């Protein structure tokens, strides 16, 4: 390891004309010694001897650990492997050093650089030659040793992460050593012998410091490990799948218990922890974990009830609904637990995290499709209740209801009762509150949208009716409250509900200039509402089309764009103009010009 002495020796052999052969012999010598080291480290006879004295096995005696001695055999093997890594590192260091001196040293007379002497016959550089020899020997020796001994094979496959860690550490040490040599040469460049170093450019010869396009030394080192990695990953996948197949027996009806799920999560955590020694291994195991999560999802999906009773909302929970709730709760627990495992992984590669997260998203989607039939039923029932407001009479004048406190309407009482019952009978059993609220809040927004839509269609609407409808608006907030964390979280729907109520009592001119128009409440809703203030001759769009209110509501759902809705309203206004002209009327209803003006304003905002 002394550059000056090595340099002097190289000069002697150069002068003798044997530089090239000497170097070749030295490097070959290192290779031979390492080959011996590798053979000894993997020698099953030595490993299985209880004492250090090696006795010849009798004819036909297989060398194998005695029962109960496997632990000692494994310990000896890993000690040998660590020693082998030290030996490879030491030999490599000497070749690296030799190569470094060769690239720096020139003959003082002819100024030939010694490395050129070695390379001129098309010889590749000695470090590359040495490294390919060592990695090939590793591959072939490991292969033949594990082919002939089941115990070695099991040790390397079963404890593959340990083996990989040794290789990774070796690689780090080699790179570290390269950097140190570089520094030592730069500092020792003061001696006379190395005066020529100062004229030398920095060499880029060291293969451990830079990747070549067509040769990756780290890959060459790890190629010998491929078969053990494949076997390890396949066993790892079995370890992950086994507990799942166990808790979902064929013909089973129930999702796994908490304890069973815990053991699945423990297995996932343990596989990820063991693989954390190496980013590539982490990613490979993460892919296995993703497959495991998929398997859990597939098995859970088979338990879901999709029969009619899964979506009924009339009676108490049916057997199928109870099972669906249990499946969703179990998927939720898996989702949360695996998320926790990932967040607790230190230095988890981003690609590995992405792989697992994608699988978890599929679990979340499955939870969604499991509750969808029930949500659809509840949504349909809510709509059916709201539409019954048209069966009630809102035409009364104020005098008929002198009572100061106006009770809410019948349909509103029914709606409140239904929503409260659905939440307590069905949704209360789900443990994933956020997930449930994410779904039911969407339902609350839809209920408010429908309520405002149908309230704006009520015709005729008397002063007393307005009072009762205003009370219904207030009660609507209470009706949807169980569906949300806070009613005010419903955003735009909530603002619409709040903004529409005062419009009931304002004059048409007032309404037309309301700041809420277009901003909070769509123009089409306000125009729809203004039809109630017109004479019967000015027919609402659905009356003109001779549709039922339910059909009109469906049409509005199918045509969410304002443009389509306003076009329908314009048609109704134009038909009114035609009918007034046909009977040779002298003037239009007072609300008509306001509506036309509003329609123009609405159309202009769409441009």
Alpha-carbon span 588 to 581, nearest angstrom: 10
- My answer on whether 129 and 235 are in the same domain is no
DSSP classification of residue 521: B
- Helix, coil or strand: residue 256: coil
DSSP classification of residue 207: T
pTM above 0.85, yes or no: no
pLDDT of residue 203: 44
Which residue segment(s) compose the domain that 590 sits in? 518-606
- Number of domains observed in the structure of the chain: 4
- My answer on whether 500 and 536 are in the same domain is no
Q: Which of 447, 474, 505 is the last residue of a domain?
A: 505
Q: How confident is the model at residue 124 (pLDDT cuts 50, 70, 90)?
A: low
pLDDT surpassing 80 at residue 189: no
Q: Over the stretch 474-531, which tens digit does the pLDDT of each residue have?
A: 999 999 999 999 999 999 999 999 999 999 999 999 999 999 998 899 999 999 999 9
State how far the alpha carbon of 526 is from the alpha carbons of 448, 503, 540, 569, in Å: 15, 9, 12, 11
- My answer on whether 163 and 14 are in the same domain is yes
pLDDT of residue 60: 52
- My answer on whether 160 and 254 are in the same domain is no
Q: Which of 350, 366, 382 is the last residue of a domain?
A: 366
pLDDT surpassing 80 at residue 55: no
- My answer on whether 236 and 305 are in the same domain is yes
Q: Which of 471, 505, 539 is the last residue of a domain?
A: 505
Given a contact cutoff of 8 angstroms between Cβ atoms, the answer to whether 247 and 258 are in contact is no
Counting residues of the chain whose pLDDT is more than 90, the rounded percentage is 67
Those residues with Cβ within 8 angstroms of residue 580's Cβ, 6 or more apart along the chain or in another chain = 537, 588
Q: Do the domain assignments include residue 198?
A: no
Q: Over the stretch 524-542, which tens digit does the pLDDT of each residue have?
A: 999 999 999 999 999 999 9
- My answer on whether 352 and 243 are in the same domain is yes
- My answer on whether 251 and 313 are in the same domain is yes
Range from 276-285, 402-411, 484-493, 551-560 carrying the lowest mean pLDDT: 402-411
pLDDT of residue 53: 47
Q: Do the domain assignments include residue 215?
A: no
Alpha-carbon span 468 to 452, nearest angstrom: 14
Q: How confident is the model at residue 402 (pLDDT cuts 50, 70, 90)?
A: low
Q: 445 versus 176: which is more confidently predicted? A: 445
Q: Is the dihedral of CA 133, 134, 138, 141 positive or negative?
A: positive
Alpha-carbon span 594 to 605, nearest angstrom: 17
- My answer on whether 316 and 441 are in the same domain is no
- My answer on whether 168 and 264 are in the same domain is no
Written as six digits, the tokens of 23 are 């170097």
Written as six digits, the tokens of 599 are 């329609």
Instruction: Quickly tell me which residue has 């769409």 as its tokens.
Output: 606
pLDDT of residue 198: 38
Residue 509 buriedness (CB in 10 A; 0-12 / 13-18 / 19+)? exposed
Q: Do the domain assignments include residue 124?
A: yes
Q: Do the domain assignments include residue 149?
A: yes
pLDDT of residue 113: 81
Q: How many CB atoms lie within 10 A of CB 274?
A: 17
Tally of helices (H runs) and strands (E runs) in the chain: 24, 0
Ranges of H-type helices in 17-159: 19-41, 44-48, 70-104, 114-119, 126-148, 150-158
Nearest to 24 by CA among 118, 94, 132, 89: 118
Q: Do the domain assignments include residue 529?
A: yes
- My answer on whether 536 and 484 are in the same domain is no
Q: Do the domain assignments include residue 383?
A: no
Counting residues of the chain whose pLDDT is more than 70, the rounded percentage is 90
Range from 6-15, 153-162, 271-280, 593-602 carrying the lowest mean pLDDT: 6-15
What pairs with residue 106 in β-bridges? 113
Given a contact cutoff of 8 angstroms between Cβ atoms, the answer to whether 506 and 446 are in contact is no
Q: How confident is the model at residue 212 (pLDDT cuts 50, 70, 90)?
A: low
Q: How confident is the model at residue 569 (pLDDT cuts 50, 70, 90)?
A: very high
Q: Over the stretch 191-209, which tens digit does the pLDDT of each residue have?
A: 444 444 433 434 444 566 5
- My answer on whether 485 and 524 are in the same domain is no
- My answer on whether 239 and 346 are in the same domain is yes
Alpha-carbon span 392 to 390, nearest angstrom: 5
Given a contact cutoff of 8 angstroms between Cβ atoms, the answer to whether 482 and 419 are in contact is yes
């Amino acid at each position: 390891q002394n550059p000056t002495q090595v340099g002097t020796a190289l000069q002697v052999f150069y002068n003798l004309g044997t530089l090239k052969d000497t170097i070749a012999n030295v490097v070959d010598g290192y290779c031979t010694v390492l080959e011996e080291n590798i053979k000894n480290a993997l020698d099953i006879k030595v490993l299985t001897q209880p004492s250090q004295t090696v006795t010849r096995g009798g004819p036909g005696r297989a060398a194998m650990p005695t029962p109960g001695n496997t632990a000692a055999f494994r310990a000896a093997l890993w000690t040998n492997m660590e020693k082998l890594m030290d030996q490879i590192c030491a030999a490599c260091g000497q070749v690296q050093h030799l190569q470094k001196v060769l690239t720096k040293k020139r003959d003082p007379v002819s100024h030939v650089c010694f490395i050129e002497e070695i390379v001129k016959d098309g010889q590749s550089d000695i470090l590359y030659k040495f490294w390919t020899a060592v990695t090939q020997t590793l591959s072939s020796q490991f292969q033949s040793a594990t082919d002939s001994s089941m115990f070695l094979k099991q040790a390397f496959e079963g404890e593959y992460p340990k083996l990989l860690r040794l290789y990774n550490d070796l690689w780090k040490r080699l790179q570290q050593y390269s950097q140190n040599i570089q520094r030592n040469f730069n500092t020792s460049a003061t001696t006379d012998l190395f005066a020529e170093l100062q004229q030398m450019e920095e060499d880029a010869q060291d293969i451990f410091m830079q990747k070549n396009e067509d040769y990756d030394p780290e890959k060459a080192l790890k190629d010998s490990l491929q078969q053990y990695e494949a076997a390890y990953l396949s066993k790892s996948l079995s370890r992950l799948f086994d507990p799942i197949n166990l808790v979902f027996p064929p013909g089973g009806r129930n999702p796994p218990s908490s304890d069973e799920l815990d053991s699945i999560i423990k297995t996932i955590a343990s596989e990820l922890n063991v693989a954390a020694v190496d980013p590539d291994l982490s990613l490979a195991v993460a892919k296995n974990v993703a497959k495991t999560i998929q398997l859990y999802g597939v098995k859970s999906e088979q338990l879901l009830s999709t029969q009619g009773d899964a979506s009924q909302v009339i009676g108490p929970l049916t057997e199928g609904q109870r099972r669906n709730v249990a499946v969703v709760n179990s998927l939720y627990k898996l989702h949360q637990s695996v998320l926790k495992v990932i967040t607790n992984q230190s230095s988890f590669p981003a690609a590995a995290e992405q792989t697992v997260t994608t699988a978890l998203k599929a679990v979340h989607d499955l939870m969604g499709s499991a509750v969808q039939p029930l949500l659809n039923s509840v949504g349909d029932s809510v709509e059916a209740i709201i539409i019954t407001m048209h069966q009630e009479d809102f035409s009364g004048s104020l005098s008929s209801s002198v009572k100061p406190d106006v009770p809410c309407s019948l349909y509103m009482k029914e709606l409140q009762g239904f929503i409260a019952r659905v939440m307590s009978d069905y949704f209360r059993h789900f443990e994933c509150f956020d997930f449930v609220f994410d779904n039911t809040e969407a339902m609350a927004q839809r209920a408010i949208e429908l309520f405002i839509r149908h309230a704006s269609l009520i015709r005729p609407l008397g002063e007393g009716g307005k009072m009762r409808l205003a009370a219904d608006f207030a009660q609507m907030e209470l009706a949807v409250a169980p569906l949300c964390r806070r009613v005010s979280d419903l955003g735009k729907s909530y603002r619409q509900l709040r903004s529409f109520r005062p419009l009931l009592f304002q004059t048409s001119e007032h309404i037309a200039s309301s700041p809420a128009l277009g901003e909070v409440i769509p123009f089409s809703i306000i125009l729809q509402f203004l039809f109630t203030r017109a004479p019967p001759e000015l027919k609402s769009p659905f009356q003109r089309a001779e549709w039922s209110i339910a059909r009109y509501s469906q049409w509005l759902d199918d045509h969410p764009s304002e443009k389509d809705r306003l076009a329908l309203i314009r048609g109704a206004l134009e038909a009114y103009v035609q009918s007034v002209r046909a009977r040779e009327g002298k003037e239009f209803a007072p609300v008509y010009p306001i509506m036309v003006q509003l329609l123009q304003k609405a159309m202009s905002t769409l441009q």
